[in-house]
Amino acid sequence: MKEPDFRTPTVGSATAELQARLHSIWETEPGLKGVFGTTDHKTIGIRYIVTAFIFLVLGGLEALAIRLQLAGPNLSLMTPDQYAQFFSTHGMTMIFLYALPILSGFSNYLWPLLLGGRDMAFPRLNAFSYWIYLAAGVFMYAGFLIGNGPNDGWFNYVPYAERNYNPGFNQDFYSLGMVLLGISTTVGAANFIVTAMRTRCPGMSINRVPIMIWGTLTANAANLLVVPSVSLAFFLLWMDRQFGTHFYDPVGGGQPLLWQHLFWIFGHPWVYAIVLPAMGMVSTGLPVFCRRPIVGYALVILGTISTMVLGFGVWVHHMFATGLSGLSLSFFSGASIMIVVPSAIAVFAWLATITLGRPVVTTAFLYFSSMILLFVIGGVSGFMTASVPVDWQLTDTYFVVAHIHYVLIGINVFPVLGACYYWFPKMTGRLLDERLGRWNFWITFIGFNLAFLPMHLTGLLGMPRRVYTYQPDMGWNTLNLITTIGSFVLAFGLLLFFINVAKSVKTGALAGPNPWDAPTLEWSVPSPPPPYNFAVIPTVASANPLWEDRLDEKRALSSIEQGLLLDKGKESIATMAIDAVPDMILEMPEDSVAPAITALGITASFVGMLLKAIWLGAWILVGIGALITLIGLVMWLWPRRDLREREPVERGPSGRRQVREVTA
């Protein structure tokens, strides 16, 4: 087989014949093989979103149970042990199984569409990342369902998590599940980074990338650096528990604070990782409803990146009360106060965009714009806890619980719901109902603030977090009752959202390719997009390719209708990292069940590691799992002629397959 190593891809326009050919190349096979083998980023993205919403519902139900227990003093709906498992599982679910995966879901679905590509850089790794996420979620919930859920809070301090104080399986499920989930997050992060760097369509230089991409890219760069820290922390905990090592055991010379450092070196950047992509959603969606480009595009991106960079240097603000020296605390305090500055950039950019634009109130706009206020409330309460002496009073009270909920609901759930209203038409071809949307928004907004705004005061009046009940003479009774009522209103608001989705997915108004007249590339393709996304790879010349005609971009002339055909197989284009000059033709892998098999094998090994009977766990289950993993990896990595990765002698002059010439 003598194929040339490099070829000049044909440039053309999208014909019906081309679309049919691409469709047959890119379509996922029906049946079980397609279900377990698909590598279509859109399918994987929707799976992520649906799974994450299921976890949101589970975590929400746990929250309602918690709020019933706390509705009044000295209630006994739950035992202290049940309560500990409920609040810990609630935290684990919302922070690890909902907040990041939902954003990964949107990013998975949208990235190639926003970037003008046909899939993520590593489609099989993408499928693998989802399967591991699902497995880790089921793994951790398996513990909860048999009464062995995590019971030491989501940040799981030692020595309470050690075997002497916590002899059940609770912490084994949690620690192994977190290591497992770390695999998913890490490979996902690598995939996002390479996708953003190398698979943007020609012309999409880094100053033309939608802000949504920047948010997720920044977050995933952070994940790649910090997830090893938490995986290590949980792995050492498992070693302590399973083999009696003494990493955290002071009696054996270990250090309880080691856990806190390892955890928060991960934990604080993680907070940014679960809000920056959501802020990116707002920066991308909000301007569409203000009918103008965002104010300060470059500044917002620089703000995003500097938030993340500073975010690596503030983890000790979770440890102000641990007895570290005042001098070291003061540095972390200073950094934590000054991190307000890059966040303020985004706030003023959004405010200016609304004020200088011509806003139109849609449900998505309501979610995006109200998020600005919630972001500020969550931000200033964070600013208060950044001051060491003030934090000595605030920390571990309900003030911090209010803060974390303004951050996670205000800056994650609200933008995500806005994003649902905004991108649902793209995903399904149908619009969500706006009328029901208004009810959904206002009830959610009122319920949320009713539940969590008074909670700041509960904290200032000294209520400790993580208590299963409280005494009636502490001055917290009314406030807790209000919060409980608010939480049910909030839950009802969210229920309306799910009703809206269920209703609109079948009967919503047809959307057409670009219902909001939005500027980015995903709106140039039909809704829902075909399996190959773009019939021809577009070439862009500005940050808002679909608005160019109206924005009077002098030199900008993006080419959407005409572009690279790349129809000789499952192909897409790779471009250079900075200026997006075409670099090579990507041969994308076929669908494969190998990622699912590999994930199954790894999960089986983790189940084996859970067992305390060493011979049974280690030698039988772990062995079987390792074998399955090996089979999966061999299938996955089996060299294939049609991917043309094995004929280096015939490569082009520069050593890689090249696109010689592109005319757009």
Partner 1 sequence: MSPTPLSYFTADGERAAHIVPLTWYMLIVSIAVCVVIGVMLLNGVRRARTGGGDAQTRAIPVERGTNGSHWIGIGVGVSLVPLIIALVWTMITLAAAAGPPPHPGLVLDVTAHQWWWEVQYYSDDPSQSFTTANEIHIPVGERVLVRLHGGDVIHSFWVPKLSGKTDAIPGQVNISWLQANHPGRFRGQCQEFCGLQHAYMGFEVVADTKDDFVQWRAAQLRPAPEPITPAQLRGQAIVEYRCGLCHEVRGTHAAAVAAPDLTHLMSRRTIASARLTNNPGNLLGWIQDPQGIKPGCLMPNQYLSAQQLHDIQAYLVLLR
Please, which of residues 394-413 interact with partner 1 by CB under 8 A? 395-397
Stretch that binds partner 1, among 4-12, 201-209, 222-230, 473-481 (CB under 8 A): 473-481
Q: How far is the CB of 457 from partner 1 (least distance, A)?
A: 9
Kindly identify the residues of this chain, within the stretch 369-388, that bind partner 1 according to CB under 8 A.
369, 372-373, 376-377, 380-381, 383-384, 387-388
Smallest distance from partner 1 to CB 208, Å: 16
According to DSSP, the residues that pair with 11 across neighbouring strands are: 564
Amino acid (1-letter code) at residue 274? I
Is 535 a binding residue for partner 1 by CB under 8 A? The answer is no
The answer to whether residue 419 forms part of the interface with partner 1 (CB under 8 A) is no
Considering the complex, what minimum distance in angstroms separates the CB of residue 545 from partner 1?
13
Number of residues interacting with partner 1: please give it, by CB under 8 A: 102
Distance CA 485, CA 482 (A): 5
Q: Check: CB of residue 107 under 8 Å from CB of residue 52.
A: no
For residues 416 and 262, what is the distance between their CA atoms, to the nearest angstrom? 29
Please list, in sequence order, all residues whose beta carbon lies within 8 angstroms of the beta carbon of residue 347, skipping any fewer than 6 positions away. Answer: 372, 375, 376, 379
Tokens of 102: 């939902």
Is 347 one of the binding residues for partner 1 (CB under 8 A)? yes
Applying CB under 8 A, does 147 fall inside the site for partner 1?
A: no
Q: How far is residue 281's CA from residue 306's CA, in Å, rounded to a whole number? A: 18
The total number of residues shown for the chain amounts to 664
Task: Choose, by CB under 8 A, the member of 33, 50, 472, 517 that binds partner 1.
Answer: 517
197: tokens are 């760097």
Stretch of 201-209, 360-368, 410-418, 489-497 lying at the interface with partner 1 (CB under 8 A):
360-368
Instruction: Quote the least distance from Cβ 406 to partner 1, whole Å.
Output: 11
Question: Is residue 472 close enough to count as binding partner 1 by CB under 8 A?
Answer: no
CA pair distance 615, 608, nearest whole angstrom: 10
Considering only residues 493 to 512 of the shown chain, the ones binding partner 1 according to CB under 8 A are: 509, 511
Select the residue interacting with partner 1 from 72, 228, 313, 334 (CB under 8 A).
Answer: 334
**Helix, strand or coil, per DSSP, at residue 587:** strand
* Binding positions for partner 1, 538-597, rule CB under 8 A: 547, 550-552
Q: How far is the CB of 558 from partner 1 (least distance, A)?
A: 15
Long-range contacts of 490-493 (CB under 8 A, 24+ apart): 490/443, 490/444, 490/447, 490/448, 490/450, 490/451, 491/60, 491/64, 491/447, 492/443, 492/447, 493/440, 493/441, 493/442, 493/443, 493/444, 493/445, 493/446, 493/447, 493/448
Cβ neighbors of 497 (< 8 A, separation 6 or more) are 417, 420, 440, 444
Residue type (1 letter), 121: A
Of 186 and 440, nearer to partner 1 (C-beta) is 440
Does residue 348 interact with partner 1 by CB under 8 A?
yes
Residues 192-221 that bind partner 1 (CB under 8 A): none
**Is 27 an interacting residue with respect to partner 1 (CB under 8 A)?**
no
Residue type, 11: V
Please identify, among the stretches 37-45, 106-114, 351-359, 494-502, the one whose residues bind partner 1 according to the rule CB under 8 A: 351-359
Q: Which is nearer to partner 1, 104 or 395 (CB)?
A: 395
Rounded CA gap, 429 and 417, in Å? Answer: 17
Single out the residue of 340, 618, 624, 626 in contact with partner 1 (rule: CB under 8 A).
Answer: 340
Q: Do 260 and 318 contact (CB within 8 A), yes or no?
A: yes
Q: Site residues for partner 1, window 312-331 (CB under 8 A)?
A: 321-323, 326, 329-330
Judged by CB under 8 A, does residue 637 bind partner 1?
Answer: no
Closest contact distance (angstroms) between CB of 503 and partner 1 is 15
- Binds partner 1 (CB under 8 A): choice among 122, 468, 523, 534: 468
DSSP 429: S
Rounded CA-CA distance 445/320 in Å is: 33
Among 7, 21, 261, 466, which residue sits at the site for partner 1 (rule: CB under 8 A)? Answer: 466
Out of 465, 568, 644, 651, which residue is the one contacting partner 1 (CB under 8 A)?
Answer: 465
Rounded distance between C-alpha atoms, residue 107 and residue 42, angstroms: 10
Q: Give the 3-state secondary structure of residue 11.
A: strand
CB 605 within 8 A of CB 632: no
Tell me whether residue 75 or residue 239 sits nearer to partner 1 (CB atom). 75
Cβ closest to partner 1, residue 389 vs residue 569: 389
Q: Specify the residue, 305 or 384, whose C-beta has the smaller distance to partner 1.
A: 384
Closest CA to 451 of 64, 186, 69, 61: 64
Considering only the stretches 106-114, 198-206, 247-255, 262-270, report the one whose residues sit in contact with partner 1 under the rule CB under 8 A: 247-255
Q: Which is nearer to partner 1, 437 or 582 (CB)?
A: 437
- In whole angstroms, the minimum distance from the beta carbon of 382 to partner 1 comes to 10
Residue 24 CB, nearest approach to partner 1 (Å)? 32
User: Candidates 365-373, 579-587, 628-636, 643-651 — which segment interacts with partner 1 by CB under 8 A?
Assistant: 365-373
Any idea of the CA torsion for 223, 227, 229, 230, to the nearest 10 degrees?
130
516 binds partner 1 per the rule CB under 8 A: yes
Kindly identify the residues of this chain, within the stretch 251-310, that bind partner 1 according to CB under 8 A.
Answer: 251, 254-257, 288-289, 291-293, 295-296, 299
Q: Which of 112, 150, 410, 425 binds partner 1 (CB under 8 A)?
A: 425
The CA distance from 387 to 339, in Å, is: 12
Cα gap 574→319, rounded to integer Å? 44
Contacts of 415 (CB under 8 A, 6+ apart): 278, 279, 281, 282, 367, 368, 371
Cis peptide before 293 (omega within 30 of 0): no
Nearest CA among 586, 516, 585 for reference residue 546? 516
Given candidates 84, 411, 420, 451, which one binds partner 1 under the rule CB under 8 A?
A: 84
Binding status of residue 77 toward partner 1 by CB under 8 A: no
Rounded CA-CA distance 594/600 in Å is: 10
The nearest distance, CB 547 to partner 1, in angstroms, is: 5
CB of 100 to partner 1, least distance (A): 23
Applying CB under 8 A, does 639 fall inside the site for partner 1?
no
Max Cα distance, the chain (Å): 85
Q: Which one of 105-113, 248-256, 622-630, 652-660 is the stretch in contact with partner 1 (CB under 8 A)?
A: 248-256
Find the shortest distance in angstroms from Cβ 365 to partner 1: 7
Query: Residue 435 is encoded by which pair of tokens?
Result: 């009328």
Instruction: For the segment 161-190, give every residue that binds partner 1 (CB under 8 A).
Output: 165
**Window 440 to 459, contacts with partner 1 (CB under 8 A):** none
Phi, psi of 562 (to 5 degrees): -115, 145
Whole-angstrom distance, CA of residue 409 vs CA of residue 604: 34
